[in-house]
């Protein structure tokens, strides 16, 4: 007895700079068992087995590496943790908005990583380290929860209108979340310098509180809250 | 067209925990270093490690690195090299403190020290009570470690070749060692020659040779393939760890830390069956022991049936929401996403799942690659290093302990970086000729010039199915021979396979084809080595040879690609400063 099957419809953004003058949306159909659900990434991998010219990034397939951020039915997310059953058909897949497209669903993340690097996302402590670990109380450590878990998938920054307009000057939600991760770390001694670097009108203050970042973060993090904390710290520092 | 050439003092291939730690060790040397990675560094598979990094800090109870060493030697079923294990366990605390100083956000004890949890195979006082030795950042330790190392590399301005794929080693013109690698810029599709005095392989595992694996899609044994094609051997490659708790159907890892925090496995009768198989350590016995017990339960019909998949369940609900949310938040998220189960209320369906390659490119404890010639004589390959999962410095032997892989990465990544730093002035920049460059490009040219043939995905699928069916938790000579025959046929088919899309820019199909060469090389090596070792030891469990055989097999196996030749190599039983641990019967 053959299993009941169903067809899932897709529209996928296609652009290969070697042959295409402009991008197109290409239709695909995937036939899967009626009762079977699967992650969107698995479906895209099956489409790629049929059409090997489709390009996208993927690695861990469990939502921790941040490779497969894309725009899914108009909303940014990770393909590997999005169930097909949660999506309306035809499922429209586009590259993350606001970044240059290299090919198909692959975007150039250079400016995103530059904004990340700008906040000096590493611990700065000018005192010589002790022989063992630096002490940190559980309460101090708790301040890093909701910050350090970022996977740099760029779903947040590429859903942010302020980042679309000023990707070179506004650090964006992902970078600012990490800026605050180090400001909040009891082991870091560069808080004043970190805050001073953020006082210009763009780096932090271009955030308009749209909160798309919070809405799309696949890890459930809240960059808007972190940005609020940075603003409060800037005010407290008298800037 | 002349091949673009970039020259460095050292190149590191792979930017997971081992590669990035090696890069940091070299950063202060003033040398020109290139870190080459086929994915952006924080996409590397280290990011998926959960439970922690093991070393004897003694934060929860008095501890001793020698006890950690004892556990590791015993866990390896006595074919781990004791000089390497001694080095790893002794230097471990210092290396973990360095990570903390770099900013790694470890969880904390009330006194402010690094949190440590119990893990499988850990004991106090050489086999006594359960120890708590695994340092953790909640259940996201790999993520925290990988991001911290990337952040430090940013601070040190390491030169990263992100999204560059290493194709093959380039031999030196005089036949003495290697001059560099050919690598492909994925974005442009163009190749280049990376010329260097020292080359460090940190290419990670190859779990994608199996159908069901906890490994990322990028774990394709690239270093193993490159080493074998360069005429270098691999060691103990039959030793594959099956992690007891992969989510049934999805393969996604659930950390052993769940059992460390008090979770346990149940069969369909609700029985905590590990009490029967390991009365002392129970659910915290070594992974090979637990995976076998689970397989026997499933075989006996004691499994749950979840959509046609037979599995056991991991019970956590008795631990309470507070503990799960603070110590195991990532597991709760994965379980909700991939099993549709909230572990606060219901147990998680799990099966033993391919997880880790204990074997790899043989090295000494400085990370230097060792070649074994026709006469069985060993030589260090000057200037070539291997670290992390692709290497077999042999700290894991026949079975790795949980929490020892992250430690392996940072201890030996650092050691190799330091060794290169010390020797860099004496290592020559070897010259190459057209012939050597052409040889290293031949594989890519073969793929680029083939327009018609069977698809990469079809051959990969059949290879993974064969490995899953014939080289799993339990093995027999008959099935393995059938599996090997299939693999040899698949290798023939692979030689004529093709892909359709021959464009250059970000052509991931071209990369997958190159990866399949590496997967197939690793699968073939595994099959030959598994047939060769006619005993059961650690993760290698043969139903036709169910006993450990120390007279014949207290030894490493060595696979040579040419002619699929197998030889043996002595295990190092001579630690430098402590008395060796003699083989004993292994009970938990």
Chain B neighbors of A102, CB-CB under 8 A: 187, 505-506
| pLDDT of the residue at B29 | 81
Q: Cβ of B372: how many Cβ atoms within 10 Å? A: 19
- pLDDT of B2 higher than 90: no
How many residue contacts between A and B have a Cβ separation below 8 Å? 150
Instruction: Report the pLDDT averaged over residues B24-42.
Output: 94
The ipTM, to two decimals, is 0.98
pLDDT, position A35: 84
Contacts A65 to B, Cβ<8 Å = 39, 42-45, 47-48, 216
Q: Do B103 and A138 touch (CB under 8 A)?
A: no
Task: Answer yes or no: do B152 and A151 touch at CB < 8 A.
Answer: no
Average pLDDT over residues B446-470: 97
Q: What is the pTM of this model?
A: 0.98
Predicted confidence at residue B192, as pLDDT, reads 98
For testing contact with chain B, the best of A17, A42, A52 (most B CBs within 10 A): A52
Distance from CA of A19 to the nearest CA of B (A): 9
Can A5-107 and A110-237 be said to share one CATH topology?
Answer: no
Interchain CB distance below 8 Å, B43 and A63? no
- Determine if the peptide bond prior to B141 is cis (ω within 30°): no
- Give yes or no for A111 touching B (CB within 8 A): no
Question: Which positions in chain A touch B338 (Cβ < 8 Å)?
Answer: 62
Give me the mean pLDDT over the B516-539 stretch.
98
Which residue in A has a C-alpha nearest to residue B141's C-alpha? A149
What CA dihedral angle connects B415, B421, B422 and B427, to 10 degrees? Answer: 120
Neighbours of B303 (CB within 10 A): 21
Closest A-chain CA to B455? A49
Kindly list the domain boundaries of chain A, sorted by start residue: 5-107, 110-237
B45·A16 Cβ contact <8 A? no
Share of chain A above pLDDT 70, in %: 98
Contact yes or no for B179/B430 (Cβ under 8 A)? yes
Residue labelled with tokens 């611990």:
A123
Residue B271 tokens read as 């029985």
Q: Angle at the Cα of B236 (from B230 to B239), degrees rounded to 5?
A: 125
Q: What is the mean pLDDT of chain A?
A: 96
Query: What is the structure's pLDDT at B183?
Result: 98
User: Does the CB of A55 have a partner CB in chain B at under 8 Å?
Assistant: yes
φ/ψ (deg, to 5) at B363: -140, 165
Judged by CB atoms closer than 8 Å, whether chains meet at A133 and B106 is answered as: yes
pLDDT above 70 (res B1): no
Residues B468-482, mean pLDDT to the nearest whole number: 97
End-to-end CA distance of chain B, in Å? 62
Helix, strand, coil distribution of chain B in percent, nearest 5: 40, 25, 40
Residue of A218, A172, A46, A179 whose CA lies nearest to B461 = A46
* Per-residue pLDDT tens digits for B53-74: 999 999 999 999 999 999 999 9
Query: Is residue A140 predicted with pLDDT exceeding 70?
Result: yes
Assess whether pLDDT exceeds 60 at residue A1: no
A186 touches chain B (CB under 8 A): no
Mean pLDDT score, A128-151: 98
Q: What residues of chain A lie within 8 A of the CB of B501, using their CB?
A: 52-53
Shortest CA distance to A219 belongs to which of A74, A81, A43? A81
Average pLDDT, chain B: 97
Q: What is the pLDDT of residue A237?
A: 75
Residue with tokens 């081992």: B18
Catalytic residue among B21, B208, B287, B327: B287
Q: What is the pLDDT of residue B390?
A: 98
Is residue B288 within a helix (H) or strand (E), and if so which, with residue range?
A: helix B287-299
Q: Is A95 on the interface with B (CB under 8 A)?
A: no
Tokens read off for A128:
């010589």
Q: Are B313 and B274 in contact (CB under 8 A)?
A: no
What does CATH list as the number for A110-237?
1.10.1060.10
Has B152 been annotated as catalytic?
no
Q: Where are the beta strands (DSSP E) in B460-513?
A: 474-475
Would an 8 Å CB–CB cutoff place B502 in contact with chain A?
no
Has domain A5-107 been given CATH number 3.30.300.30?
no
pLDDT given for residue B441 in this prediction: 97
Joined together, the tokens standing for residue B565 give: 């030749």
pLDDT score recorded for residue B308: 84
**Closest to B315 (Cα-Cα) out of B279, B274, B354, B369:** B274
Write the burial class of residue B127 (CB in 10 Å: 0-12 exposed, 13-18 middle, 19+ buried).
middle
If you average pLDDT over residues B198-206, what whole number do you get?
98
Percent of chain A with pLDDT over 90: 95
- Sorting pLDDT into bands at 50, 70 and 90, what band is A2? low
CB contact at 8 A, B260 and B115: no
Interface test with B, best of A37, A119, A144, A148 (most B CBs within 10 A): A148
Residue B582's alpha-carbon distances to A35, A121, B31, in angstroms, are 55, 47, 43
pLDDT tens, B205-217?
Answer: 999 999 999 999 9
First to last CA, chain A: 73
């Amino acid at each position: 007895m053959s299993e009941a099957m169903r067809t899932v419809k897709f529209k996928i953004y296609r652009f290969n700079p070697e042959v295409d003058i402009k991008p197109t949306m290409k239709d695909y159909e995937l036939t899967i068992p009626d009762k079977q659900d699967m992650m969107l990434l698995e479906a895209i991998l099956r489409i790629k087995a049929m059409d090997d010219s489709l390009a996208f990034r993927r690695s861990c397939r469990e939502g921790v590496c941040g490779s497969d951020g894309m725009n899914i039915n108009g909303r940014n997310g990770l393909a590997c943790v999005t169930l097909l059953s949660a999506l309306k058909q035809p499922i429209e897949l586009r590259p993350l908005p606001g970044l240059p497209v290299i090919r198909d669903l692959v975007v150039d993340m250079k400016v995103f990583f530059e904004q990340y690097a700008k906040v000096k996302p590493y611990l700065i402590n000018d005192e010589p380290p002790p022989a063992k670990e630096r002490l940190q109380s559980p309460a101090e450590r708790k301040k890093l929860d909701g910050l350090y878990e970022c996977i740099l998938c760029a779903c947040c920054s590429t859903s942010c209108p302020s980042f679309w307009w000023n990707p070179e000057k506004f650090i964006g939600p992902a970078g600012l979340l990490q800026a605050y991760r180090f400001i909040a770390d009891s082991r870091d001694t560069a808080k004043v310098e970190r805050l001073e670097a953020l006082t210009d009108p763009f780096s932090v203050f271009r955030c308009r509180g749209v909160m798309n970042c919070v809405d799309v973060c696949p890890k459930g993090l809240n960059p808007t809250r972190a940005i609020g904390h940075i603003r409060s710290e800037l005010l407290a520092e008298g800037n | 067209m002349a091949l673009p050439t970039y020259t460095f003092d050292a190149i590191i291939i792979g930017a997971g925990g081992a590669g990035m730690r090696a890069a940091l060790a070299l950063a202060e040397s003033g040398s020109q270093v290139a870190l080459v990675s086929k994915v952006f560094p924080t996409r590397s598979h280290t990011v998926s490690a959960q439970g922690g990094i093991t070393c004897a800090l003694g934060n929860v109870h008095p501890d001793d690195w020698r006890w950690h060493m004892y556990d590791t030697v015993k866990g390896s079923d006595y074919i781990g090299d004791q000089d390497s294990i001694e080095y790893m366990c002794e230097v471990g605390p210092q290396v973990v403190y360095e990570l903390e100083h770099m900013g790694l956000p470890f969880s904390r004890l009330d006194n402010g020290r690094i949190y440590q949890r119990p893990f499988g195979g850990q004991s106090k006082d050489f086999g006594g009570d359960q120890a708590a030795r695994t340092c953790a950042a909640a259940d996201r330790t790999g993520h925290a470690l990988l991001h911290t190392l990337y952040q430090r590399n940013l601070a040190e301005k390491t030169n990263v070749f992100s999204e560059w794929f290493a194709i093959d080693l380039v031999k030196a013109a005089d036949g003495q060692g290697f001059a560099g690698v050919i690598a492909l810029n994925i974005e442009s599709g163009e190749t280049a020659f990376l010329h260097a005095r020292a080359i460090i392989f940190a290419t990670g595992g190859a779990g994608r040779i199996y159908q069901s694996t906890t490994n990322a899609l990028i774990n394709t044994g690239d270093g193993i393939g490159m080493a074998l094609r360069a005429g270098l051997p691999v060691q103990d490659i039959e030793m594959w760890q099956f992690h007891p708790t992969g989510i049934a159907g999805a393969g996604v890892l659930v950390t052993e830390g769940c059992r460390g925090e008090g979770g346990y496995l149940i069969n369909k009768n609700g029985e905590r069956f590990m009490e029967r198989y390991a009365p002392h350590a129970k659910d915290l016995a070594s992974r090979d022991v637990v995976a076998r017990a689970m397989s026997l339960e499933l075989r006996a019909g004691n499994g749950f049936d979840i959509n046609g998949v037979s599995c056991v369940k991991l019970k956590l609900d008795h631990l309470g929401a507070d503990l799960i949310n603070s110590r195991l938040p990532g597991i709760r998220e994965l379980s909700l996403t991939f099993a549709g189960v909230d572990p606060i209320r219901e147990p998680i369906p799990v099966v033993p799942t391919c997880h880790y390659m204990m074997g790899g490119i043989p090295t000494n404890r400085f990370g230097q690659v060792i070649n074994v010639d026709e006469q069985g004589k060993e030589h260090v390959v000057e200037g070539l290093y291997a670290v992390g999962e692709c290497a077999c410095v042999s700290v894991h032997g026949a079975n790795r302990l949980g929490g020892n892989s992250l430690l392996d990465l940072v201890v030996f990544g650092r050691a190799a970086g330091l060794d290169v730093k010390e020797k860099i002035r004496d290592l020559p920049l070897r010259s190459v000729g057209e012939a050597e460059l052409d040889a290293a490009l031949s594989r890519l040219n073969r793929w680029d010039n083939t327009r018609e043939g069977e698809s990469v995905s079809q051959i990969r699928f059949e290879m993974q199915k064969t490995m899953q069916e014939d080289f799993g938790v339990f093995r027999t000579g008959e099935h393995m021979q059938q599996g090997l025959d299939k693999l040899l046929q698949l290798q023939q088919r692979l030689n004529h396979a093709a892909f359709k899309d021959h464009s250059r820019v970000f052509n991931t199909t071209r990369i997958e084809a190159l990866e399949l060469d590496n997967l197939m090389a690793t699968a073939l090596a595994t099959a030959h080595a598994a047939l060769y070792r006619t005993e059961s030891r650690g993760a290698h469990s043969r139903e036709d040879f169910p006993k450990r055989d120390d007279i014949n097999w207290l030894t490493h196996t060595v696979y040579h690609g040419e002619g699929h030749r197998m030889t043996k190599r002595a295990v190092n039983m001579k630690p430098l400063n402590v008395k060796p641990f003699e083989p004993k019967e292994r009970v938990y």
